[in-house]
Amino acid sequence: MVWALNVGLLFLAIAGSDGCFLCPLREPPRPRPLDQFELPTLGKMPSTDKVPPLCDYSKKLPVNGSCQEAFERLLCSAETFYSAIVKGCPGSDDPDACSSCSRGKDASTWVVGWFDSLGKPPSGISDGNYYWLGDYEICHDLRAKQKFMGQYCRVELEIPDALVEAGCQQTDPLAIILGVCFPAECSKAELTAVSSSLVPYKLTVDCEVHTEWSMAAKIFLTLTGIWVFVVLVCTAAHIRNPDLGLVFYCLSLQVNGARALSTKRDYQLHAQQGLEFLTYLVLIIGIVYSYMLPYIENVSFAFDAVSDARMHLVNNYSYHIDGLLALTSLFTTSLLMGHILSYKDIFRAVIRKLARFMPSYAFIIAFMGIVFANVASGPLWIHGDLVKRCESSWWKNLLLINNFYGVKETCVDFGHVISLEAQCFAVLIVLICLAYHRPVIAQGVAVTLTILSIIVTFYIILTNALPPAPMLSAEPVDTFKIEFLLSNVVIAFLPRLSAYMIGFLYYFRFNFSETEEGSIDANGNEKIVHKNRWQAYLLAAATCLVVSGVAFGVLGYASTNHGATLWLAAYGSLHRPAWAFAVISLLWLCQNKTFSELNAFLSWRLFSPLSKLTYQALIIAEPLVLYFYSAMHRPTHATHWSSIYTAVSTAAVAYLFALLIDIFLARPLRNLIYSRSIHRRRYTIPGRTNSLRTGV
């Protein structure tokens, strides 16, 4: 029975995902049969025996200046080449005209490549292959050879659904993304005007970010290189002579690497690290399945699985962050309870937490805003929106207030979680101080905040008729409602505060010390007698029930887009704190040794160094997934195995990058700031300490 509960709880605990807040706003249209596209009626086709007046047509385009001249050169070259093909060049009776015609034909041959680079209908349109990308490489070859100064752009055409009644609102138009090699002299607004004059559809134009490195990027990379060089030099000097000055010790990779990878633990919540790592893996899987939607050629792969109970565990993902927040809250409370006694202690704890995390976070934000757009290229690598978001919201991310400005005000999607955790930590640290002096009042405040969080969430969802959580559904949900849900519930401080408060309250409700007694049986073997056995079994059953309800409670809504309004609002307000309760309960059951086998796995020392970098790795994981999918020059054909491979690769590489940033940047800076503590510990054995209390 115990082993069955182990397996059931572990399976349900890892089912699902979270992480990508902007993904619901990038959701592609549902696949439809090709004959459902309301295509325009073609007029009388021009005769192939006559040369179309392309050169004259270029002067009628709604642009002027250098953009008009670039289009004129393109279309006139096409007319010249077509004329030479249709009419042919004069014979030997007119050698000058023949020579001029031949030179003109040779000089305009490049237009064949330009036409070949245009997007064309692929196979699998009814399966959701909306990318008509053409040939990105030809466009850049023309530019490299100085034949045509082109920039690769994607024109997204919103084609009406032929089955929608006239006059009805088009909530989910069919989208075709057409690749075009436009003149580089034209701006986005000019290209939009030209495209709108050619096709009768609503459209948007996005062009690749300029491939040249900006001055800011060059300065950033230069400073990074100098810092890495300094760290390597100090490391070599420290290895050669360990008695050198404190600066060499603080910057040494040998010292910082040993502490970052240490498995020494001086606290009892060992299973917390394993649960945190499993949550990390679940989040990575969710990020992969969410991010891949705009970059796959078989969109039906995702939408066909909406009614599948197994895939619903991945589809409904937004509550797993609450489990991570609850684990962080409980762990922080257990470490700091009794050590935060005054306002000075509160201030010091906040400063030390910022010193521990902000160097890595600031480096990632700077990299995303300055360098990321230039690390790759391709028809799918058009991230102008990301660059603009970083340019406008980087300071909101660094001040940890970006979640107050809406879901689009972030440089990386997971930045909202970082801001949420920091804001919740500020509340928690005050409650920890209050609990030392007035524990009953502190618990009362936490209960009040939890109830208030649930009530506010219920009211927002009910009064605005919002979906209970961001997820794919059988029918599209109004984008305005999705964005409202994300901005006012999913990333909002008060609606997400309940999970953090549950972690704090759990510290008082249960004793997290080792709850077991040992005795010797008749054979001389130690016999373990668990305390509170029935309480543990009842809690295990309740946890299984809660996890099942949270995981599958809105499967019917996702499959049909229908559900009782009160039930959807109740689920939307309760499923996050319920999941936080279930995760913390599972931790208590492991700590209680009720599930000794599961506890042995979750307490594996390997999880200790990994859990230190969970938040940093999650921030890095999203750009990695974005790189894996959009750096390729063709859309991916998604399968479950390919998605799992991508998730495993992302999890490993994200941890590696997080570790490198930690030992090259974050720990050295933290050591320099808290050099007095480092000096006292210089000759101790490297191991994990209370980083929130010491700052190192």
Within a domain: residue 625? yes
Predicted TM-score of the model (pTM): 0.83
Same domain, 170 and 199: yes
Query: Using the 8-state DSSP alphabet, how is residue 239 labeled?
Result: H
Asked whether the predicted pLDDT for residue 55 surpasses 90, the reply is no
Q: What is the mean pLDDT of residues 371-395?
A: 83
Asked whether the predicted pLDDT for residue 516 surpasses 80, the reply is no
Within a domain: residue 581? yes
User: pLDDT tens for residues 423-454?
Assistant: 999 999 999 999 999 999 999 999 999 999 99
Phi-psi region of 290 (alpha: psi -120 to 50; beta: other; left: phi over 0): alpha
User: pLDDT tens for residues 549-570?
Assistant: 998 888 888 888 787 889 999 9
User: What is the distance between the alpha carbons of residues 491 and 401, in angstroms, rounded to a whole number?
Assistant: 11
Same domain, 586 and 684: yes
Same domain, 99 and 157: yes
Within a domain: residue 42? no
Same domain, 447 and 587: yes
For residue 151, list its beta bridge partners. 182
User: What is the distance between the alpha carbons of residues 369 and 398, in angstroms, rounded to a whole number?
Assistant: 12
If you average pLDDT over every residue of the chain, what do you get? 81
Asked whether the predicted pLDDT for residue 511 surpasses 70, the reply is no
pLDDT higher for 523 or 636? 636
Asked whether the predicted pLDDT for residue 523 surpasses 70, the reply is no
- Residue 96 CA: distances (Å) to CA of 88, 90, 132, 500: 14, 9, 43, 85
Q: Of 175, 207, 239, which one is at a domain's C-terminal end?
A: 207
Contact 80, 108 (CB under 8 A): yes
Within a domain: residue 587? yes
Q: Of 180, 207, 234, which one is at a domain's C-terminal end?
A: 207
pLDDT band at 16 (very low <50, low <70, confident <90, very high): very low
Q: What is the mean pLDDT of residues 667-684?
A: 73
- Closest residue by Cα to residue 487 from 396, 402, 423, 554: 402
User: What is the distance between the alpha carbons of residues 370 and 381, in angstroms, rounded to a whole number?
Assistant: 15
User: pLDDT tens for residues 69-80?
Assistant: 888 888 888 887
CA dihedral over 244, 250, 251, 252, signed as positive or negative: positive
Least confident of 42-51, 282-291, 428-437: 42-51
204-213, 256-265, 373-382, 506-515 — which one is most confidently predicted on average? 256-265
User: What is the distance between the alpha carbons of residues 112 and 104, in angstroms, rounded to a whole number?
Assistant: 14
pLDDT band at 299 (very low <50, low <70, confident <90, very high): confident
The structural domain count of the chain equals: 2
Q: In what order do the strands lie in the sheet with 174-183?
A: 131-132, 174-183, 150-159, 202-207
Q: What is the pLDDT of residue 123?
A: 74
Same domain, 145 and 229: no
Within a domain: residue 398? yes
Contacts of 336 (CB under 8 A, 6+ apart): 349, 429, 432, 692, 693
The per-residue b/e assignment along 221-244, b for 16 or more CB within 10 angstroms, e otherwise, is eeebeebeeebeebbebbeeeeee
Within a domain: residue 212? no
Same domain, 9 and 107: no
Within a domain: residue 41? no
Q: What is the pLDDT of residue 528?
A: 46
Q: What is the pLDDT of residue 554?
A: 87
The residue range of the domain holding 567 is: 2-30+218-518+528-694
Same domain, 165 and 224: no
Q: What is the pLDDT of residue 690?
A: 44
User: What is the distance between the alpha carbons of residues 451 and 454, in angstroms, rounded to a whole number?
Assistant: 5
Q: Of 157, 180, 207, which one is at a domain's C-terminal end?
A: 207
pLDDT band at 89 (very low <50, low <70, confident <90, very high): low
Q: What is the DSSP string of 262-321?
A: -----SS-HHHHHHHHHHHHHHHHHHHHHHTGGGBS-THHHHTTTT-HHHHHHHS-TTHH
Q: What 3 state SS string does 162-195 have?
A: CCCCCCCCCCCCEEEEEEEEEECCCCHHHHHHHH
Query: Using the 8-state DSSP alphabet, how is residue 161 labeled?
Result: B
Q: What is the pLDDT of residue 489?
A: 92
pLDDT band at 687 (very low <50, low <70, confident <90, very high): very low
User: What is the distance between the alpha carbons of residues 402 and 395, in angstroms, rounded to a whole number?
Assistant: 8
User: What is the distance between the alpha carbons of residues 31 and 130, in angstroms, rounded to a whole number?
Assistant: 9
Using only C-alpha atoms, the chain has a radius of gyration, in whole angstroms, of 30
Within a domain: residue 309? yes
Q: What is the pLDDT of residue 452?
A: 97
User: pLDDT tens for residues 339-359?
Assistant: 999 899 999 999 999 999 999
pLDDT higher for 244 or 594? 244
Same domain, 164 and 241: no
Same domain, 101 and 244: no
Same domain, 347 and 285: yes
Asked whether the predicted pLDDT for residue 375 surpasses 50, the reply is yes
Same domain, 148 and 236: no
Q: What is the mean pLDDT of residues 505-523?
A: 59
Q: What is the mean pLDDT of residues 260-289?
A: 86
Helix or strand (DSSP H, E) at 630? helix 614-630
Same domain, 120 and 263: no
